[in-house]
Chain A
Amino acid sequence: MDDALVRAGRALRLALLTALALLFLIPFYLLVRNGLADERDITSPEWTFFPADVRWGNVQELFQDPSVPFARSLLNSALIAVATTLGTLLLASLAGYGLARIPYRHAGKVFYGILGTLLVPAAVTFVPSFVLVSSLGWISTLRGLIVPTLFSAFACFVFRQYFLGFPRELEDAAQVDGLGYWRTYWRVVVPNSRPVFAAVGTIVFLGAWNSFLWPLVIGQDQSAWTVQVALSSFTTAQVVRLHELFLAAAVSILPLLLVFLCFQRWIVAGVERSGID
């Protein structure tokens, strides 16, 4: 009887999970369905799960629409996400290593100064940051969109925690060989730390690609729009061509799905190493 109960419980759990999984996938389905449908299929008076015909021509239409700088915004997003990821990895990993390994009297104070900024929600600093960036004359420039976001206290913290646990023997051997901090770092530490770089890099890339408020505030000019700002301008406009909008959204998540499927286990590893818990 106990066995029957356990089996019933297992079947129930599986059924519930399957139902939830389908619910979680519906929004992805809607993206593709609406993106490749005819306008009339989206707004037809009856809901249809499968549109009458699939219109691949929509893709061409989206990229040729002169009123929307969609290709340009994709390029901007790609430039910003790649630059932000590389810059963050370089700056935060160097700082994390210095904090973890180089003896210095005031290292503790510097660390708490960095950690303290985690307690200031980015939300609260967006007005003053805008003020600063605009007084530098960086509004609507890639510089303004990239540089201020390069200093992630979170990434620095993850690297510090990771380097604290890095096996000292490897570095000691390098020191005996006469390598200084700089060469030890590049020749021994970095090549042996690829997983943590991949994990932090993926998280930073996702965040940079998806970020909205900062690009909205700084990228005021159409030429500096990111893909998120371009999409948002569609949704708040009065006249919208729905299929184009959905297709643009579907295209905008494609690069991320790729990164995501390739690096999923790094994200999990990164989360586990991030000093959470």
Chain B
Amino acid sequence: MRRRGALWFWVFVGPFAFGLALFTYVPLLWSVGLSFFDAHNTVTPTHFTGLDNYAAMLRDAAFRDSLKTFLLFTAFIVPVTYGFSLALALMVNRVRWARAFFRSVFFLPAACSYVVAALIWKMSLFNGVRFGLANTVLGWFGGDPVAWLSTTDPPWYWLVIVTVRLWLQAGFYMILFLAGLQRIDPALYEAAAVDGARPGWTVLRHITLPQLRGTSVAVLLLLVVNAFQAFDEFYNLLSDARGYPPYARPPLVYLYYTALGQGQNLGLGSAGAVILALVIAAVTVAQARWLRLGRTDGDG
């Protein structure tokens, strides 16, 4: 009986597990292997170079810069998206009129790709010419036109990059928060009202937020994981026929050009991917620690 169980288990799980191993574990190990070789234009290199690729990557100011860009971007986009989508959910949850309409409108951008959104932002909203929409609005208030994507001091391009992601993602996280809000027992609010707590800040702080803790942890983890993957909007907003500007280059964009660009330097690219994986693992562990620590006060 047990042997029949094992057989059927592998009939069901085997194809999936085999594919996952082939397309995730094998590439990972292969990549670690390649990172110790001089692998220009080839996936079967012969020249072993030890830790040279790692040393070269860590010495490379552009790569270190890309790690800084990624940390800055994460530190910025995560709290902003968290706060904005939570505020949206709280408002949509309490509005009585046309709730389904508002929910749909804020969720609709989730159907757009980063490519499409970047196109609208780059070519129409923030196109940097006087008649662009953002500059037209600035003009109404007497402001001078801004070349949004090529102004590095002050770094206006961050405004463009952050608003694209906010527009695309806020609705999805709003839905997560709405689901969390629906699960809160109304009796808790009634009890608070009996105790004389006025609706508003007090109730939000002492009932709603603690009750949303589980959702919050999930949202924060997803936000950080998604920030790691940032590639699409940077690539589509900032690069043009001449290539990519030297600023605001997240690690993935950097690795894309290193490994698959002119040089096809797969050894160097693999070393960069391994370093990036280690940085991400460190950030994830630190975040998990921090979220668990935050769980001690008032679990409702």
Residues on A close to B: CB < 8 A? Answer: 10, 13-14, 16-17, 20-21, 24-28, 30-31, 34, 42-47, 91-92, 94-95, 97-99, 102-105, 107, 110, 113-114, 117, 119-132, 134-135, 147-148, 150-151, 153, 156, 180-182, 185, 206, 209-213, 217, 228, 231-232, 234-238, 240, 242, 245-246, 249, 252-253, 256-257, 259-260, 264, 267-268, 271-272, 276-277
Contact = CB atoms under 8 A, between A and B. Distances in A.
B293 interface: no
B162 interface: no
Q: Does more than half of chain A's interface fall in helix, strand or loop, or is it mixed?
A: helix
Interface of B: 2, 5-6, 8-9, 11-13, 15-17, 19-28, 30-31, 34, 43-44, 88, 91-92, 94-97, 101-102, 104-125, 129-133, 136, 167, 171-172, 175-176, 179-180, 214-215, 218, 222, 225, 228-229, 231-232, 235-236, 239-241, 251-252, 255-256, 259-260, 266, 269-270, 272-273, 276-277, 280-281, 284
A4 to B, nearest CB: 15
Nearest to A234: B119
Task: From B13, B102, B114, B117, name the one whose CB has the most chain A CB atoms within 10 angstroms.
Answer: B13
B120 A249 contact: yes
27 contacts: A17-B91, A17-B92, A20-B106, A25-B108, A43-B129, A44-B131, A91-B16, A95-B12, A95-B16, A103-B2, A117-B24, A123-B251, A123-B276, A127-B270, A151-B16, A151-B20, A182-B8, A209-B113, A210-B115, A213-B232, A217-B256, A228-B115, A232-B236, A238-B241, A240-B123, A246-B124, A256-B112
Nearest to B9: A104
Nearest to A181: B8
Nearest to B13: A98
Contacts of B167: 24, 27
Q: Does more than half of chain B's interface fall in helix, strand or loop, or is it mixed?
A: helix
Contacts of A14: 95, 97
A270 to B, nearest CB: 10
Contacts of B122: 235
A114 B19 CA distance: 11
A94 B44 CA distance: 36
Task: From B120, B130, B231, B256, name the one whose CB has the most chain A CB atoms within 10 angstroms.
Answer: B120
Contacts, number: 271
A30 B125 contact: yes
Contacts of A206: 110-111
B5 A132 contact: no
Contacts of A238: 240-241
Contacts of B229: 121-123
Contacts of B241: 236-238
Given A103-B5, A123-B276, A235-B236, A131 B34 contact: yes
Given A103-B2, A123-B231, A156-B16, 12 more contacts: A13-B95, A26-B133, A47-B133, A95-B12, A104-B9, A126-B256, A127-B259, A127-B269, A151-B24, A210-B113, A213-B232, A276-B222
B17 A110 contact: yes
Nearest to A228: B115
A178 B21 CA distance: 34
B108 A130 contact: no
Given A98-B13, A257-B111, A260-B108, A242 B30 contact: no
B118 A121 contact: no
Contacts of B239: 236
Contact of A271 (B9, B175, B225): B175
Contacts of B2: 103, 105
Nearest to A156: B16
Nearest to A130: B260
Contacts of A129: 23, 27
A119 B122 CA distance: 33
Contacts of B16: 91-92, 94-95, 114, 151, 156
